[in-house]
Structure 1
Amino acid sequence: MKNVTKISFVVLVLFLSLSQRGNAQIVIGKPSLGFTQACASPSFNTYNVTFSFSSDTALSGSNQFIIELSDDNGDFTNATTIYTSNAGAVTTSPATLSFAMPNTMSGEGYKIKIKSTAPAASSTPSNAFAAYYKIQDTPFTINNLIATGTFCAGGSYLLTIDSRVDENNDSPLQYPSLTYNWYKETSPTTSVFVAEGATLSVSEPGTYFVETNYGTCTSNSFSNRVTITQATSQSSFEINSSKGNPFCSSDGPTVLSAVNGNSYQWYKDGEAIEGATNQMFETEESGTYLVSVDLGECSTSASIDLDSTGFSSSIDANEVEMIDENETLEVTVTTDANNPEFEWYLNESLITSVTTSSYVISQTGNYKVVVNQTADCLSSTEHSFMVQNPFPDVAEIPNLISPDGDRENDTWVIPQQYVSGTNTQVTILNAQGKVVLQTDNYQNNWPENQIDFQDITPVYYYIIKPQNGSEKKGSITVIK
C-alpha cells in the first residue's frame, strides 16, 4: 500500500511539472532602436533593434522572434512582418536583430514590436521613428532646365518635373510611388512650402523648386531653381542650350529651349527659320538666335548668342583702329581654348612669323586672327578688324561714298588739309537743308550712323571753310 502511494505521488509531481512547462510565459521588454530615423535606399538598408526578455528558460526549442512594423501612424492593425528568426536561433537575453525596411516606407510615425511564437508573447511598441525608402536620391530637372519662366498678367505658368531619363537627368517620375513638395524661396537660404504634386501652376513672381517628399529624410532628391516673372514688353526669360554655351559642334548639335507657351517662332541672325515653331530647336551652328513666344494673353521673346566652337575668345581691338605714321598698335587675343594656336593675316595673306596671341601692328590694312582649339573639341573662330591711318593723304574731295560695312569707302575721307588739327569748319547738310554735321575737328568719320535710304539714293551737300584758303562746296551721293 505504501509503495502504491509513493508511485502515485511521483506521477503527480511529474504531471504538475509538465503542466507548468506547458503554461510557461516570457516577458519581452520595449524594443531599443539602433537608429533615430530610417532613411533607406538601394545602397543602404540595414537596421538593428535590441530587446530583452525573461525568462530564457521558458523558451521552447521551436520559438521564433518576429519583428512587426506598424503603419506610418503607429497602428499595428495591419502590421507588416519584416523579420522572422530561425527556430531556436535566439536564446539569450538581451538580443539584437538586424533587418531591412520595406521599399514602401514613407512616413514619420512608424513603430515596431517584438513577438515570440513559443511561448507567444509581444512587447510594447518602440518609440516612433521616421522611415522612407529613397528609391531616387539624386538631383533632377524641371522646366527643361530653363532658369526662367514668364506668365501674362492674370495668367499663370506651369512648372513640371522633366520626365526624360538620361545621363543628365534621373527623373523621379519613373517611380510612380513618389510624391513631391514645391517650395518658393524667401531668401538665398530659406523657403516656404507651396503645394504638393508633380506640377505647379505659378501665378506669383518668385523663385521655385521641388523636392521628392522624403520628409525628414530629404537630402539629394531636389530640382534646379526656376525664377518666374510676369511678362513685360522686354525679354524676360533665358534660352537654355542643352550643351552649354559655347558648345562643341563636333560632339553633335545642342538643343535650344524656350519657356512654355502656346506657339513659337525661332530666328537666326534676324531671319525667321522655316518650320522652327516648337518649344525646342536643335542646331550645331553659331549665331544669334531669338525665339518669340505667344503666351496666350501676351507674348515675350529672348535671344542667345550661341557659339559652337567649344571655347570662348575675345580681342582687344575695335572694328576699326587708327594709327599714325611711325606708330604701332599691339593687339591681343584672350581665350580659354584648349591648347590654342593662332594664325594672323594681313589682307588675307598669312603672316608666317607670328604664331602667338599678341601681335604688334605697324602698318594699315585688313587684319584677321584665327584661333584654333587643337585638343578635345577641334574647332576655330576668327576675329577681324581694320587698321587705318586716321587722315590718309587723298588728293580730291570725294563726292561718292558707300557705307555698306565692307570697309571700302565707308566714310567720307577728305584731304589732310581740312581734317582735325587744321581748324577747318566742315558742314554737311541733307537735301532739305538741315545740318547733319558741323565741326572744326573732322575725323574722316561721317556718317557714324546708318543712313535711311527709303528706296532712293540720298544726296548731301558739304561746305568746307578752311582757316586760310577758299571755301569748298559740293555734293555727296550715298549709295548702297
Structure 2
Amino acid sequence: MKKSSSTYGILVLAMAMMLLGNTSLTAQVLNKPIAADNPNLAGNSAWTAACASASFNEYFVNFTWSPPLVDSNNEFILELSDSYGNFGSPRELARVSDKNTVFDFEFEFALPNDIRGEGYKFRVRSTSPAKTSPASDAYPMYYIDYNSPLLISENGSGTIPSGGLIQICGGGSVTLKPHNIPNAGTYLYNWYRSGTLLAQKTESITVSTPGMYYVELDYGSICSGSANTLSNTIEISNGSSLGIAINGDSNVELCPGDPYTLEASISGMGLTYTWLKDGDVISGPTLEGSTFAVNTGISGFEGDYEVEISGPSACTERSSKVALRSAGSFEVSRQNEENIVLLPSQSKTLSVSTTAGSPTYQWYKDGAPIADATNSSLVVNTVGEYYAEVTDNGGSCSAGPKTSEITTIVSPDSFELEIEFIGAYTDCENTDATISLAAVKAVSDTGAKTDVTAELETSFAYQWKLDGATISGETSKTITVSNQEDNGAYKLDGTLDGFNATSNTLNVKLSANQNLTVSANGTILCEGGEAIVLTSSQSLTDQTFEWLKDGQVVDTSSESFTANEIGTYQLIIRTNDCPIISNEVAIRAFDESLLVLDKPKDLIIIEGETGTITASGADSYEWFDANNNLIATQDSYGFQEEGEYLLVASFGSCTVSRVITVVYRDMFAIPNVITANGDGINDLWILPNTYSRDQNVLVTIFNERGEQVFSQTAYENNWPQSTMAFNKPSMIFYYKITRGGKALKQGTITVIK
C-alpha cells in the first residue's frame, strides 16, 4: 500500500530521531506484563498462581509494547520482584534479543527453586533504549520442593503414639513437631485443630487444648492443597491425675532370700501397670497388675523400683522410687594397679578396702589360699595372680564371701622403649625436631607386653644414639636436633638392674634452611640478541645438582646454564638428604606487544598543560626528542610541546621503538554549516582532533531520508568528497560520532552550495 506524504514524513522524522537518539517527541511504550496461557497444556486459560515443582516448571507471560522501534542491539528482559512486590533487587527470569520488531509476544520462564510468597510481580526492561514497564499484578508463586505427607510426633521424636492419642494432665502441655522433613526450619506451616486453621506458622506448636491436630506446609492460598503435605493426626485429650505411689517405706533393707512384694497405692479401675527397676521395665504393662514380687534370692536384686500406670481418662504417671537394699551387702575394692612388674630383689604391697561391718580376709595366689595371709594388705615378691576374699561376720543377716579383682604380678623377660616426635614433623620441611620417650613396656617370656611407663620411666638410665653411635652428653629422655649435619637414624637405649632396653628407630631429615637463588642477565629471548645465562647464588662445585626446564632435567654438570628456549627454569641441589630448591625464572619470547603504553602514541594535549604517557613491560626506557636528544630514562614522560618523540624500550638485549606524536588540542567547536562551492574555504567538514584521525572513533553521516552516505573511522576531515553531488542549494545532513558503540556527539550539518 502506498504511504501518504504526511505518513512518509512522520517515518522520516522517526528515523532521524532514532539515528540521533532523540526521543523527546515520541518514545516506546512498554506495557505491564500479564500471565499467559501455556501452549503446551490443554485449555486456553492463563495461570493465576505458579505452583512449580521438579516435575513441572514451565510458565508464560504476555508482553506488548508500542513503536517507535527499539535499537537493533536491544534486549527485552523479564524481571521478578521479591515476595512483597518490591524491585530493589530484581531477579532476571528471561531475556530475548529477537523480538525488536515484534510488539506482542510471550516470555517463557521457570520459577527459581527458592521462591515462596503471595505478592510477586513482573516487569519488563529494555536495554536500548533503557526503559522499564509498569509492574504487573501480584501473583502467588511457590516452588514446591517438598511434596510428601508430613509426620508429626511429640517434640519431633519420631515416635507416633498408639492410636495417635496423647493425654495431658494437670494443666500441662505438649509440643508437636514434624520429624520427617529436611531443613524443617526454612518453611512456614499451616496448623489445624479439629479443622480450624490456627495462627501459628512455626515448625512446632505447643498445645494444651483438647482436639485433633494436624499440619501441612504453607505454600500459600492456592498451592498448599496441591502440594499433598497434609500430616497424620494427633489427638490431644485431658486426663485425670490419680497420684500413684508404692505403699510402704521408700528405703527397705532385705536379707537375701526373704520374700518381698511391692504394691501400688491404687488398684482396680481398669488400669494398666508397668514395673521398673533402675529405669528399666521388669514387668508389664499388665492390666490390673498392681503388685510385683521381688526375688531377693538372686544376686543384684538391689535397686530403685517404680510403677507406672495408664488407662482410660487417667494420665500416664509414674510413682516415686523405692530403694531396695541387701542387709548383708558390702563391697570389696582393689587398692593397687591391675598389672604390676616385679624386678629382681623387689617386693610389692597389695591391698583391698571393704564396706563390710566386721570383715575377715584371706589372700589367694593362683587360686590357692596363702597361709597366714589374713590382713587387708599383702607383701609379695613372686609372680602370680593375687586376690583377696572378704567375709562379713556381723549384720542382721549372713552373706556369702566376696572376692576382690585379680592383680597380676609379672617378672619381665625384657623391656622395650618407644620414642616419638614431639609436635608436627615432616621430612625435609622441619628445620628442627624433638624426639622423646613415649612408653616403657615390660615383655614377658610369652611375648606379652605391659605398659610400665608410670612406674619405671624415672628408674632407667638413658643414652641416645645416632646411626648406631653414642651421642655424647645426650642422656635424658628427650633430644632436640637442629642441624642438618645431624640428620640420621635416632634410637634410645636404657638400662635398669641388669636389663638393657632399646627403642624403635626414628629417621630425622631436616631441611637445609638455605636460600638458593637463580639469577639471569635477562628474561626475554630475541633472535640475534645476547644469550640468556642462568647462574646460582651458591657454588655448585662438588655438588650434585639439576637444572630443570618446565619441570624436566636438562643439565646436571654446568655450573651456569644458557637458556636458548622459552620456558620456566629452576635449579635443585641434591647433595644433602633434603634437596635445596631455587626460585623459578620464566624466559619469554620477544614480542613488541610486551611494551604497553597507557595512552595512544598520538597524544593530544591542551597548550600550556602537560600530558603524560607511562610505559610498562620493559627493563629500561629511553625518551628522545625530535633532535635525537635523550630527555628521560624513567618509565614515563610528561609532554608539554608539540612534535615527534621517540621511545626506545629495552628487554634484555632486545629493543622496541615507538614514535610518539604530540599535538595541541583544537579548541574550536564542531561546525554545523559548510559551503561546498569549491572555493577552498569551508568546503570540508573539519572536526577537532579530539574526534578526527582516531582509529577508535567512528564518524557516520546520514541524509535527510535517514540513508547512510558516509562512514569512516580515523576520520580524515575529508567529507564531502569532490564527487558528491548536491541537488539543492541548501541540504541538511545528520551526523553521529561514536567510540566503541557509545555516542560521543550528534547533530546536523547544513551544506550550502
TM-score (norm. length: structure 2) = 0.28
Considering fraction of residues, name the structure with more strand.
2
Larger radius of gyration: 2
More RCO (CA 8 Å, sep 6+)? 1
